[in-house]
Amino acid sequence: MHANVGDTLLVHGHVVGQADRKGQIIEVRGQNGAPPYLVRFEDGHEQLVFPGPDALIQPPVSR
């Protein structure tokens, strides 16, 4: 997995009824874009994340 600061991390829910989590990557701590990532989620909390197979990295939308 490779990410850059400003990308969006989308983590899918693991069980029925669990919402997906979405946050902005604010720091990449691994080498060459590798995890872990410091992520600021939509509710405002920040967490160090080692994404699993249920996660997607989305680059920012260019306008």
Q: What angle do CA 19, 25, 27 make, to 5 degrees?
A: 145
Label residue 62 by pLDDT band (50, 70, 90): confident
Q: Is the pTM here over 0.85, yes or no?
A: yes
- Cα distance between residue 37 and residue 58, in whole Å: 14
- Give the residue-averaged pLDDT of 39-46: 96
Element (H, E) at 23: strand 21-28
**Which one has a higher pLDDT value, 40 or 15?**
40
pLDDT confidence of residue 63: 61
- Give the residue-averaged pLDDT of 1-12: 95
Q: What is the mean pLDDT of the chain?
A: 93
